[in-house]
Amino acid sequence: MAQSKWDRVSAALEGGRPDKVPLTFWMHFPEVDRSARGLVRATLDLYRRYDLDLIKVMFRSSFGLEDWGVHFGSYHPTRGSWQTEEYVVHTPEDWGTIEVLPPDRGVLGEQLEVLSQLRKEVGPDVPVLATLFSPSMLAVRLSGRARFLEHWRTHRDDVERALKVIGETVMAFGLACLRAGADGIFYAIELGSGRAMPHEEYRAIGERYDRPILAEIHERSRLTMLHLHGEDLAFSELVNYPSHVVNWYDRCAGPSLRDARAVTSKCLAAGIDHERTLMLDTPEEIASEVRAAVAEVDGRGLILAPGCGIPITVPERSLRALVEARNSLA
């Protein structure tokens, strides 16, 4: 008898080998994600079309930044994420204008409505994760990365005050997501990549802001997925942050699934090269990659997943081939 989606995912969380390795992937829906109704429909269509085992809700990539005054222009033609047109932080003093956002109003309130509607549609047996950006990730999107790093190094007190406010917003919104119907949280950290910020500098931010938020949410979450974005990751450190699952781009950035298993017993969400293999539109290559990923960890404690959102231009045939490759291993 086939396992339910929650049973399948739970077996992976416990380090077991379910009837089928759980499969999930996610993407932006820039044409419709500015309305709750449009995003719900697009999310449900992706879930149902490919019979995914877990729904990771792709809120519009701006998170709640519009409510802080950020202006967005067009979306990226491949990634589907909205591109910043005007930042709100230009001088160190501008960090003082950032205030706590209420989670039930504005853009954040719309995203809670998405979760509520999704839960009604899929019922209790499908894991649903809400996406949270770390405070530093949001701070970068308020100012631009170069300016954030400059201010962090020259006017740290100003940036720290803003990070505290942003952290309060993230915490409140994360807890509100759980109340609205999410089973757990997909928590994205970007500055843990040495390409984005030196590890020793990020460590102070992570310990002061990311770890406490994760710890608070993790106590109430059935499934906390930690997303480590980028290359040159401080993986052996960050993998110990509170979470049930770790997600990263193993096929390009590393470490490999095998090497990751050597440093953690947590469930691993990886194995799919969303930037290269899926875009090649070659079913044989996709099937080979799926088999290799499963073999690296003997099919245990694994959720087949991309290292980030899949391109909005990915061929449908590639996604069909991915599903078929997973199913053939059952």
DSSP per position, 88-115: S--SGGGGGG--PPPTTSHHHHHHHHHH
* 185, 174 Cβ separation under 8 angstroms: yes
CATH class of the domain at 5-328: alpha beta
How far, in Å, CA of 251 to CA of 270, rounded?
8
Query: Which residue shows structure tokens 């792709």?
Result: 58
How far, in Å, CA of 267 to CA of 264, rounded?
8
Confidence category of residue 82, pLDDT binned at 50, 70, 90: confident
Confidence category of residue 206, pLDDT binned at 50, 70, 90: very high
Q: Residue 61: its pLDDT value, please?
A: 75
Distances 301 to 12, 56, 248, 264 between C-alpha atoms, Å: 4, 18, 15, 11
How far, in Å, CA of 60 to CA of 131, rounded?
10
Strand partners, 252: none
Q: Residue 175: its pLDDT value, please?
A: 98
Which amino acid is residue 30, in one-letter code? P
How far, in Å, CA of 321 to CA of 158, rounded?
50
* 80, 27 Cβ separation under 8 angstroms: yes
* 151, 92 Cβ separation under 8 angstroms: yes
Confidence category of residue 330, pLDDT binned at 50, 70, 90: confident
- Which structure tokens are listed for 134? 């770390």
Residue spans per domain, the chain? 5-328
pLDDT in tens, 275-328: 999 998 799 999 999 999 999 999 999 999 999 999 999 999 999 999 999 999
* 99, 123 Cβ separation under 8 angstroms: no
Whole-structure pTM value: 0.97
pLDDT in tens, 12-58: 999 999 999 999 999 999 999 999 999 999 999 999 999 999 999 99
* 187, 170 Cβ separation under 8 angstroms: no
- Which structure tokens are listed for 193? 């990549």
* 90, 147 Cβ separation under 8 angstroms: yes
Does residue 62 register a pLDDT over 80?
no
Phi, psi dihedral angles at 50 (to 5 degrees): -115, 5
Q: Residue 1: its pLDDT value, please?
A: 76
How far, in Å, CA of 176 to CA of 110, rounded?
12
pLDDT in tens, 85-125: 999 999 999 999 999 999 999 999 999 999 999 999 999 99
How far, in Å, CA of 226 to CA of 320, rounded?
27
How far, in Å, CA of 202 to CA of 200, rounded?
6
- Which structure tokens are listed for 303? 């959720």
Confidence category of residue 4, pLDDT binned at 50, 70, 90: very high
Which amino acid is residue 147, in one-letter code? R
* 44, 51 Cβ separation under 8 angstroms: no
How far, in Å, CA of 110 to CA of 5, rounded?
27
Q: Is 100 left (phi over 0), alpha (psi -120 to 50) or beta?
A: beta
H/E stretch holding 228 reads strand 223-228
pLDDT in tens, 14-27: 999 999 999 999 99
